[in-house]
Structure 1
Amino acid sequence: MTQAKQRCLTVDQIGYPLNAKKSVISAGKSGTFEVIHSVTGKPVFQGETGPLQPDEAAGTAVCSGDFSALAEPGSYYVSLGDEISAPFVIADNPYKELHQGLLKAFYLFRCGCDLSEEYAGPWSHAACHLADGTVYDDSEVKLNSTGGWHDAGDYGQYTGPGAKAVADLLLAFELNPQAFRSPLPIPETDGITPDVLHECRYELEWLFKMQDDRTGGAFHKLTTKQFPALNVMPEDDLADLYFLPVSATATGCLAGVMAMASRVYRPFDEVFADRCLEAAKRAWQWLLDHPEVPGFKNPQDIGTGEYGDEQDLDERYWAAAELFRTTGDETYHTHFKALAAQQFPKYELGWADMGGYGTFAYLLQDSAKGDNALLNWLKDGLLEEADKLAAICTADGYGISLTSADYIWGSNMVVMNRAMLLLIAYHLSGNDKYEAMALDHIHYLMGRNPLDISYVTGYGDRPVMHPHHRPSVGDSVADPVPGLVAGGPNRGLNDDCMMEHLQGKAPAECFIDDELSYAGNEVTIYWNSPAVFVVSHFVK
């Protein structure tokens, strides 16, 4: 695939808030730079870059030029010698449209309903996956399976990753409600309940169906036995659907997200909130009844995403925290304190390590409800983790919290998850450095990176155009479905396309915008969701 020449000067291709720090990153060239007004063509700012410094992840020397003093709204680009950057804006509220697009993507991920042209534009398609699903370990049982979001570039649906995505969106709404005032719009838009809650409810209604009525446990996933071809549209994927067996990790995630939803939705719909809480309690009881459960493994004839996870302490910890925060019942508090004493990651936010959500739930509640010693211990640990990330940011040429080893499959999720943690640290401490560093992570995602690419389809001067995403490949629309976060550089080169084209590249350059690159250029709901959270903090 032919790709455009990379620019040596990289910027956030969306723009910069008026009063925030603003900088351009230059690879391989230092000196005097100018900021040029895009309309008049006249320089409005001149500065000097710092000295070039080697950047291991980028595989080259880089420097930055600061133009924070420029706080005049407008459209600009940067020049240094014969190099120019992408255009960008300086504005009071530059990320509003990006935020809307990242959130609207969840509507475009919907399964089981018509995506009408009114709301989906040229990416409309007919309802899909309408047949009942078969319970894998009891083929006589058929269950309604419609609704929810497709997980990724395929059409599978997974309880744990879906719960993570909903949790990110609900946290974003809880902490930054101002960002969700404008309608998207979507079919449910009513001017009363924020659209983010309408959209999350679409997934939550599906998650109810993933709870086994017989036991209260949660089915691990709902998929066909194998993935369809890459050009198959969702309504043409007619293979049989299966509810794969109950797992402890899925059940813990369902308990956590339903308890959280009960709290968030109560001011808007008490009946729905009660239903969520009942589901959470039933799932929690299943966890109590099944203290030792092996991790989920795909049956031999299933080839869809496994999302295997041997460790379920983190999901149980999250469930206990949310149930305690929502109900105030000391029984859940007792379980949470016992789980907190166990050894597992308590500040991670990935689908396999959900402990961070339990920690956030405990720290963000009314402190009078918690145990002071435990609150202080968890807060100190979170701030220590944030300081570790801050040290990585300071050493990194692009200002983000990834070391060379962190450019893994889904590295952009790691980028956004870590920015989430920095923003929670800011919320709890008031330390401005965490907020500023989180903003640098948005700049990276939106183009201020070694490849000079916006990792969000449809946004920026040079966005991803060929994601590994079946509707984007299978439809007749030239542009991909917009608002999707690509997985990002992956030094593991875990697919044939990457192996063929990216041998010898530096970690942060191990990315190719090719639909065949599922290990770098796929999209998922749980890569979009932390991006929504982070961007929402900076939307007025």
Structure 2
Amino acid sequence: MIHRFLLFVGLIVALAAFVAPADEPAVIRINLLGYRPASSKTAVWGSLTDKTTARFQLVNAETDQVVWQREVGQAFGVYGPFRQTYRLNFSAFRQPGRYYVRTDEGTRSPVFRIGEDVYDGAADFCLRYMRQQRSGYNPFLKDSCHTHDGYTMYGPMPDSTHIDVSGGWHDASDYLQYVTTSANATYHLLAALRDYPDAFTDQHQTNGLAGANGQPDVLDEARWGLDWLLKMHPTDEWLFNQLGDDRDHAGLRIPDEDNFYGKGFERPVYFATGEPQGLFRYKNRATGVASTAGKVSSALALGYQLLRKRPADYVDQSYLTRLRQRAQSAYKLGEQKPGNSQTAPGRAPYFYEEDNYADDMELAAVEQLNLAGTTSKQAGQWRATALKFARQEPVTPWIDNDTARHYQWYPFVNIGHAELAKRFPVGQRKPVTDFYKRGIETVWQRAKQNAFYRGVPFIWCSNNLTTSFATQCLWYRQLTNDQQYAALEQATFDWLFGCNPWGTSFVYGLPANTDTPTDPHSAFTHLKKYPIDGGLVDGPVRGSIYKNLIGITLHEADEYAAFQSDLAVYHDDFGDYSTNEPTMDGTASLVYLLAAKQAEKRTKSPEIQSTIATNKSAIELTSAYAKGAKIRGDTSVRQLSLVFTGDEFADGGRTIARVLRKQNVRASFFLTGRFLRNPANASLVQQLRRDGHYIGPHSDQHLLYCDWTKRDSLLVTHEQFSKDLKANYVALGRFGIQRSKATLFLPPYEWYNDSISTWTQAAGSRLISYTPGTLSHADYTTPDDPNYRDSETILQSIRAYEQRNITGLNGFILLMHIGTASARTDKLYDHLDALLTELRQKSYRFVNVNRL
């Protein structure tokens, strides 16, 4: 990369204090790509002055008619250049069309679309940049480059021995090539094809020129990477790590034959020795080869799995044999030389400082499972090996550290956890998926403090980290069906495409006719005005990083000057190599994420999709549990349970009982001792019992068992819990409800932890709670509550969940309240009859929760 490693050396550029002009207006930031109808949809309003706002509207851009409006909700306060910020949530609105958001003080967003197809073609579009980065033959230029690579250094052969390693991809805007980034990019492209084949088309030949060849373009691109990896690992014992060094930075040029490395047109190719390297003054701190070998093994193994299913005229048997053999030999090299293989510096002290390898070997061990010839016993051994590596690095270290040296922990997402989890039955994945959850929760604790839900640090390549973290959230959701981080996942994705302080997409040319990079740090655009369609630029960095960089000179006036801050800086200017340089590996990672986003409109439910990926002949469906409580029944059966809780209010009781009797539906009621002892509720409880509904305990005094912010911190003792639950059962007994017939216990506030689950079991009861994913449980909120949800919003959330998941509401525990405070005049139970009719028309059957 041109100047990529010039950081932290001195203060050359003196910056202003990043103070926005006082008279700047507020802005609304949205995802310029748009939103899917059933997805989370949130814009962010930010004021550069002391201005505030109270309400916002969604306006049809074709008619200028207001179609939806709400209050803005919680104020998040200062963030970067903004003095006040709000999240504008319009998730409940689902009608496709073109819209803009407008607030009551007059701020207006860019126009955006809501539609099922908003992400269609985006992954394919980003492949344009990958083709443009090709070395050897470059289809964009329709010319060849770097055809004489290269001469060896540090290898078992004499230095300067010629070896054919032409091909692969240039790493960024310079023309260095690294095995570690190329292998990671290759794996992401192959995984995108494996997981989301419908996201890709066939419009190019294997060499990248226009014209179909019967194979998806993403496979052609991945094969370009595989070809080069095989050259860099040509024998069982030889593995090269790097092609070229920072002498590449000697001049700005379109890729052609380099002539400044001292040996004609050849470039140096560095052997992976596992020891420190550097031809000049500076050395890296390499300790082994496993970090590179693991990545190579994984990419070659996955390439073998996908290519062996392709026709013989596309790939011959000898090529497949080499893929399989080299996948195995690379893994062995990783075993023989554990440790980190860092890139070699040249005349400057900068290099890729990779300091971890367990994640790479974990993924490589998992991929060995899929190579032909493994027995059941061998498969079990590979799983055990992968799990051993997984435990060495449960959380990708940048997450816990909130910072990193350049490429210190790479890749930025642990792919091995997702692939390993798929190799276990759904009910046995938790030890692995919890690794993802720990990292996500750490980021969430930072993100929830600001309106952008930004928890990814502003270090170099922050967009690569952002893409990787969004993918980690996606995989966690798919593997567990845990929806609690869905808003964080969407916000992380939205950031890349405009919902950020600068209001820009960070992908060149995507979407068209919006604010995207136009002057990136790229020789293609700077010298020849060539577009770099689909390239993901590095992204914002901390103001402190930017201020200490050498050689940055902005070529044009900063159009984002009002939005720069000490928190983060971004420039669409060729002179800012720290924030605006596109990268090959970051773009490849984004190809995977965009393919997943396109596929979600028709994808299978998260809890079974990962099972299908490993065993298409038998879909494993199980009940779901959280912290010891059953939260969902069998998703293979089209039935659900309506659950109503009651404590101090019972105003909906008669209406609910009447509707259930009319619809001939059995439901479940969990009532506190206070509710049961209230004389005004006695006839209602008796009626519910006569009608055959399940009635169980909800605690006696509706205690809060654990802290809202520290869930593992108990607020009650075991003795207090036991006495309270016993009193609840005594109150049930007065209505003839025996404890042996009411063993299910739904905790107050639906808030509990592992200790409560253990205590419940010890008391002879079983803990249950509602199924997450809808807003039905918010029917108690009142208009003065920042979390208020009206009935239409709640009903839309139920419909949205049912439509976007292949298992719909199967096994659902749908929780509502038997009564609410008088301040809430919009009662959800008044819509119960229509809801039941709607669900019956979709063939759902309603059962008591004990039968779920």
Shorter chain as denominator, the TM-score bin is: 0.7 to 0.9
Structure 2 partner of 1:219: 240
* Aligned equivalents of 1:74, 1:303: Cα separation in 2: 52
Q: Does the 8 A contact of 1:30 with 1:52 survive in 2?
A: no
The 10-residue stretch of structure 1 (494-503 or 457-466) with the greater mean CA deviation from structure 2: 494-503
Q: Could you tell me how far 1:174 is from its partner in structure 2? A: 2.5
* Aligned equivalents of 1:276, 1:59: Cα separation in 2: 52
TM-score, length-scaled by structure 1 = 0.86
* Aligned equivalents of 2:484, 2:148: Cα separation in 1: 51
Structure 2 partner of 1:522: 581
Q: In structure 2, what residue type is equivalent to 1:352?
A: W
Task: Describe the shift of the 1:296–1:440 C-alpha distance in structure 2 as closer, same or farther (beyond 3 A).
Answer: closer
Task: Describe the shift of the 1:103–1:435 C-alpha distance in structure 2 as closer, same or farther (beyond 3 A).
Answer: farther
Q: In structure 2, what residue type is equivalent to 1:466?
A: D
Q: Could you tell me how far 1:168 is from its partner in structure 2? A: 1.9
- Which residues of 2 match residues 144-163 of structure 1 at below 5 A? 144-163=164-183
Structure 2 partner of 1:209: 231
* Aligned equivalents of 2:497, 2:364: Cα separation in 1: 34
* Aligned equivalents of 2:553, 2:213: Cα separation in 1: 49
Q: Does the 8 A contact of 1:230 with 1:470 survive in 2?
A: no
Task: Describe the shift of the 1:431–1:159 C-alpha distance in structure 2 as closer, same or farther (beyond 3 A).
Answer: same
- Aligned: 1:53 with 2:76: yes
- Aligned: 1:473 with 2:526: yes
- Aligned: 1:286 with 2:342: no
Q: Deviations over 1:48-89 (max 9, x none)?
A: 322432244565321022223433322222233343222211
Q: In structure 1, what residue type is equivalent to 2:595?
A: S
Q: In structure 1, what residue type is equivalent to 2:421?
A: L
- Aligned: 1:353 with 2:410: yes
- Aligned: 1:110 with 2:127: no
Q: Does the 8 A contact of 1:450 with 1:509 survive in 2?
A: no
Correspondence for 2:198 among 138, 156, 178: 178
Q: Could you tell me how far 1:304 is from its partner in structure 2? A: 9.4
Structure 2 partner of 1:235: 256
The 10-residue stretch of structure 1 (349-358 or 147-156) with the greater mean CA deviation from structure 2: 349-358
Q: Could you tell me how far 1:389 is from its partner in structure 2? A: 3.6
- Aligned: 1:193 with 2:193: no
Task: Describe the shift of the 1:225–1:11 C-alpha distance in structure 2 as closer, same or farther (beyond 3 A).
Answer: closer
* Aligned equivalents of 1:296, 1:394: Cα separation in 2: 35
* Aligned equivalents of 1:208, 1:305: Cα separation in 2: 27
Q: Deviations over 1:20-57 (max 9, x none)?
A: 22222110242333333333344333333224322445
Q: Does the 8 A contact of 2:334 with 2:361 survive in 1?
A: yes
Q: Does the 8 A contact of 2:79 with 2:85 survive in 1?
A: no
* Aligned equivalents of 1:343, 1:71: Cα separation in 2: 41
Q: Deviations over 1:427-459 (max 9, x none)?
A: 111123444432222211111111111111112
* Larger of the two Rg values belongs to structure: 2
Q: In structure 2, what residue type is equivalent to 1:54?
A: G
* Aligned equivalents of 1:337, 1:357: Cα separation in 2: 13
Q: Does the 8 A contact of 2:386 with 2:420 survive in 1?
A: no
Q: Does the 8 A contact of 1:496 with 1:517 survive in 2?
A: no
* Aligned equivalents of 1:7, 1:496: Cα separation in 2: 33
Q: Does the 8 A contact of 1:160 with 1:351 survive in 2?
A: no
- Aligned: 1:401 with 2:455: yes
Q: Does the 8 A contact of 1:188 with 1:195 survive in 2?
A: no
Percent of paired sites with the same residue = 21
Q: Could you tell me how far 1:345 is from its partner in structure 2? A: 4.4
Q: Could you tell me how far 1:198 is from its partner in structure 2? A: 1.1
Q: Deviations over 1:403-450 (max 9, x none)?
A: xxx111111111111111101101111123444432222211111111
Q: In structure 2, what residue type is equivalent to 1:68?
A: S
Structure 2 partner of 1:63: 86
Structure 1 partner of 2:734: none
- Aligned: 1:245 with 2:271: yes
Q: Secondary structure at the match of 1:287?
A: helix
* Aligned equivalents of 1:127, 1:476: Cα separation in 2: 20
Q: Deviations over 1:209-249 (max 9, x none)?
A: 11153x53421111155124564111264443110121402
Q: Could you tell me how far 1:298 is from its partner in structure 2? A: 2.3
Unaligned runs of 5+ in 2: 1-14, 261-265, 275-288, 400-406, 600-852
Task: Describe the shift of the 1:189–1:306 C-alpha distance in structure 2 as closer, same or farther (beyond 3 A).
Answer: farther
Structure 2 partner of 1:9: 28
The 10-residue stretch of structure 1 (200-209 or 311-320) with the greater mean CA deviation from structure 2: 311-320
* Aligned equivalents of 1:533, 1:244: Cα separation in 2: 30
Correspondence for 2:432 among 372, 378, 382: 378
Task: Describe the shift of the 1:125–1:309 C-alpha distance in structure 2 as closer, same or farther (beyond 3 A).
Answer: same
Q: In structure 2, what residue type is equivalent to 1:361?
A: E
Q: Does the 8 A contact of 1:106 with 1:199 survive in 2?
A: yes
Q: In structure 2, what residue type is equivalent to 1:66?
A: N
Structure 1 partner of 2:500: 449
Task: Describe the shift of the 1:508–1:202 C-alpha distance in structure 2 as closer, same or farther (beyond 3 A).
Answer: farther
* Aligned equivalents of 1:429, 1:346: Cα separation in 2: 19
* Aligned equivalents of 2:359, 2:25: Cα separation in 1: 42
CA RMSD, Structure 1 to Structure 2 (Å): 3.3
* Aligned equivalents of 2:257, 2:336: Cα separation in 1: 41
* Aligned equivalents of 1:377, 1:347: Cα separation in 2: 18
Q: Could you tell me how far 1:100 is from its partner in structure 2? A: 2.2
The 10-residue stretch of structure 1 (180-189 or 486-495) with the greater mean CA deviation from structure 2: 180-189
- Which residues of 2 match residues 298-309 of structure 1 at below 5 A? 298=344, 301=346, 303=348, 306-309=351-354
Q: Does the 8 A contact of 2:151 with 2:269 survive in 1?
A: yes
Q: Secondary structure at the match of 2:128?
A: helix
Correspondence for 1:166 among 183, 186, 190: 186
Q: Does the 8 A contact of 2:473 with 2:485 survive in 1?
A: yes
Q: In structure 1, what residue type is equivalent to 2:409?
A: A
* Aligned equivalents of 1:32, 1:343: Cα separation in 2: 45
Q: Does the 8 A contact of 1:399 with 1:441 survive in 2?
A: yes
Structure 2 partner of 1:484: 535
Task: Describe the shift of the 1:290–1:34 C-alpha distance in structure 2 as closer, same or farther (beyond 3 A).
Answer: closer
Structure 2 partner of 1:255: 297
Q: Could you tell me how far 1:261 is from its partner in structure 2? A: 1.9
Correspondence for 2:342 among 282, 296, 301: 296
Q: In structure 2, what residue type is equivalent to 1:233?
A: I
* Aligned equivalents of 1:219, 1:290: Cα separation in 2: 14
Q: In structure 2, what residue type is equivalent to 1:509?
A: A
Q: Could you tell me how far 1:204 is from its partner in structure 2? A: 0.9
TM-score, length-scaled by structure 2 = 0.56
Structure 2 partner of 1:126: 143
* Aligned equivalents of 2:302, 2:397: Cα separation in 1: 18
Q: Deviations over 1:138-168 (max 9, x none)?
A: 3341111221111111111100011111222
* Aligned equivalents of 2:395, 2:41: Cα separation in 1: 34
* Aligned equivalents of 1:70, 1:335: Cα separation in 2: 47
* Aligned equivalents of 1:305, 1:471: Cα separation in 2: 24
Q: Does the 8 A contact of 1:219 with 1:251 survive in 2?
A: no
Task: Describe the shift of the 1:190–1:126 C-alpha distance in structure 2 as closer, same or farther (beyond 3 A).
Answer: closer
Structure 2 partner of 1:135: 152
The 10-residue stretch of structure 1 (16-25 or 342-351) with the greater mean CA deviation from structure 2: 342-351
Q: In structure 2, what residue type is equivalent to 1:255?
A: S
* Aligned equivalents of 2:243, 2:111: Cα separation in 1: 43
Task: Describe the shift of the 1:181–1:429 C-alpha distance in structure 2 as closer, same or farther (beyond 3 A).
Answer: farther
Q: Which has the higher helix share?
A: 1
Q: Could you tell me how far 1:320 is from its partner in structure 2? A: 1.9
Q: Could you tell me how far 1:524 is from its partner in structure 2? A: 0.9
Q: In structure 2, what residue type is equivalent to 1:169?
A: L
Structure 1 partner of 2:703: none
Q: Could you tell me how far 1:277 is from its partner in structure 2? A: 1.4
Unaligned runs of 5+ in 1: none
Q: Does the 8 A contact of 2:258 with 2:267 survive in 1?
A: no
Q: Deviations over 1:171-219 (max 9, x none)?
A: 2223222322564684386464322111110111011111153x53421
Correspondence for 1:363 among 398, 404, 421: 421
Structure 2 partner of 1:531: 590
Q: Deviations over 1:260-297 (max 9, x none)?
A: 22223222257344321111112122233334x67436
- Aligned: 1:18 with 2:37: yes
Q: In structure 1, what residue type is equivalent to 2:522?
A: H
Q: Secondary structure at the match of 1:523?
A: coil
Q: In structure 1, what residue type is equivalent to 2:386?
A: F
